[in-house]
Amino acid sequence: MTAWTLVRAHLTFHWRRTTVLIGCLWIGCLVPLVLSQVMPEVQKQLQRRANETPVVFGSPGSSLECVLHALYFRPTQAPPLLYGDWQSLQQAGFERCVPLHVRFSTNDYPIVGTHLEYFTYRQCQFLAGEPFGRIGDCVIGSEVARQLELNVGEFLISSPRSFLSIAADYPLQMKIVGILQPTASPDDRAVFVDLKTTWVIENLGHGHQDVSQSNDPNLVLERNEQGTVASAAVLPFTVVTEENLASFHFHGEMADFPITAMVLLDDRQRAQDLAAGVAQKNAKVQTVFAGDVIRELLSLLFQIQNVIVAVSIFVGVATLMLFGLVIGLSVQIRQQEMETLFKLGASRGLTWTLYGLEVLVIAVVALLLAGLISRLIAWFVREDLYLWFV
Amino acid sequence: MIRIRDLQFGYPGTPFRLQIPTWEVPDAARVAIVGPSGSGKTTLLHLLAGILVPQSGQIEMGNADLTRWSDAARRDFRATQIGLVFQRFELIDYLNVAGNILLPYAINRSLRFGPAVRERMEELAKRAGIAHLLRRPVQRLSQGEQQRVAICRALINQPRWLLADEPTGNLDPENKRLIVELLHQQAEASQATLVMVTHDVSLIADFAMTVDFQAWCSVKSDASR
């Protein structure tokens, strides 16, 4: 039997009051603690992606939107670039520049049209399967595979961008040929296809049955010197197979086909030196240094963090005042009890020791809980933190 | 032996004055102090327990003059030598019966808790007829049971003096008789001096000494205490 016995008995007997007090302090501490653990990790993740992708090319417009689109595959409203722009950069010596076409999605995951070099330059490893080799193949990120429970050999269907215009994007069944290893980056949540596959989805190319030899008037509208004009009754293939692969073709010049961004996956300094020249020469292409944009974004995030911390301090002070009020009222209510303890041989100091121990226990439990929960939160979201901020 | 000489006590700012020229109580005596409410009976018990200190005079408990001791020494004396029983029981609501009986061991370091104390607690509870209630919260006890717990708490430190302040004030006649019997038995078993304050003259028959408080000491009071 010690004073501690009394403190423990009082706290457990009045467990509702104890729980509310712990809860108040816990909530007051949680937000600043979570922020202090999460923000450095957010900073690290955003900067890592920016360092891996030092330069981004996109249409003139918001540089932030351009970076978020190229690095995190966020949708963009900016007009597209042309594949010819990428070809020009290649000719200018930008060997490690990769085009991206990110307009479509499947099951809410972005479909990223690109070249095979994307995997090489990003140093992507394959968990299963291999890179895409032809139109209609796709490689999925680890999170896509996990969430949708997909394996190599299964299929994904592209989602039309608008249900009101289903003719605009023809849903294409894409065969999964590879699954990427987790990288704690947006690549985990993307479906990668060859650029031509995205152009097929965009109806710039297609495959269909051979109508050149057909005499069916429902399929053939007209034959002339340029070729055969097929009717709308000729349906394009919605899946690419060995048998129909050869029938896929594109209408128009490839250089005029759209891409939505280009990323320069080169050494940071070299990429910036190279890109500085492009920025001056080509007004149609916006050159963005991702690191600068991410730094601006981070500085904005830190300003928001400071505001949240300031608000938390105010809330914390209010909580402490209420906490003090509850303890003060408790002191009044327990006056008779403390008088009894004094009559039985306790010192006046013991009563303050009891109150002090109670406050200490409540504060320590609240802090431990807040620390534990904030650690758990930080641990659970550690790989996907960037998703909350981009 | 309790020995009081030329005691004078008053609460500051009130007309209440307690004056006892001389009073002696031999060891192991049974003393009933009777008198109307507000006449100063409780004040006398608090003086004997060292809770209050007189403005002048001497209070000797055994061979020690309480009036010469420091607060800490009187506190330790109270914890180790005195057993107090209150009219309103004054049990701690968040402790169970066992916790309440052992309470003095939680609040004063002069008392050392150990297996012997636990055995004594069980023995006291058995004698008081509450051995089966040791784990029960005190709010779930009847008033008679609560007062038995309070008596066990007063005796757990094996006091030389058992001071009971109207311990039957809130009880029905049957429980009054039982509690007074219990106090006598426990005091007898512990060889303690029992000083009981009461305004119920029907209870004083079993006491060897009876003090008519109002007649015996001088109280200049408006009966506010």
pLDDT per residue as tens digits for the range A43-100? 888 888 888 888 899 998 899 999 999 999 998 888 999 999 999 888 888 888 999 9
Cβ neighbours of A346 in B, within 8 Å: 75, 107-108
Which of residues A370 and A235 earns the better pLDDT score? A370
Interchain proximity A344–B93, CB inside 8 Å: no
Q: What is the pLDDT of residue A277?
A: 66
> What's the CATH number for B2-217?
3.40.50.300
Tell me the C-alpha to C-alpha distance, in Å, between residue A110 and each of A27, A102, A161.
37, 7, 11
Residues of chain B short of pLDDT 50, as ranges, are: 221-225
Q: What is the pLDDT of residue A271?
A: 67
A345 touches chain B (CB under 8 A): yes
Query: What is the mean pLDDT of the segment spanning A118-142?
Result: 93
- The rounded distance, in Å, linking the Cα atoms of B80 and A31 is 51
Interchain proximity A13–B84, CB inside 8 Å: no
Q: What percent of chain A has pLDDT over 70?
A: 89
Exposed, middle or buried, A140 (CB in 10 Å: 0-12/13-18/19+)? buried
Give the pLDDT confidence of A225-277 residue by residue, as tens digits. 777 777 766 777 778 888 887 788 888 888 999 999 999 887 767 767 767 66
Contact at 8 Å (CB) between A177 and A162?
Answer: no
Q: What is the pLDDT of residue B131?
A: 92
Interchain proximity A9–B80, CB inside 8 Å: no
Q: What is the pLDDT of residue A52?
A: 86
Residue closest to A369 by CA, chosen among A4, A11, A34, A7: A34
Where b means 16+ CB within 10 Å and e means fewer, A8-21 reads ebbbebbeeebeeb
- The rounded distance, in Å, linking the Cα atoms of B46 and B68 is 16
pLDDT, chain A, mean: 86
Shortest distance between the Cα of A359 and any Cα of chain B, in A, equals: 17
Shortest distance between the Cα of B105 and any Cα of chain A, in A, equals: 6
Shortest distance between the Cα of A368 and any Cα of chain B, in A, equals: 26
Range name among A30-34, A115-119, A344-348, B200-204 with the lowest pLDDT average: B200-204
Q: What percent of chain A has pLDDT over 90?
A: 45
pTM of the model: 0.71
Q: What is the pLDDT of residue B223?
A: 44
Give the pLDDT confidence of A166-201 residue by residue, as tens digits. 555 678 899 999 999 998 889 999 999 999 999 998
Question: pLDDT at residue A351 above 90?
Answer: no
A333 touches chain B (CB under 8 A): no
Q: What is the pLDDT of residue B161?
A: 94
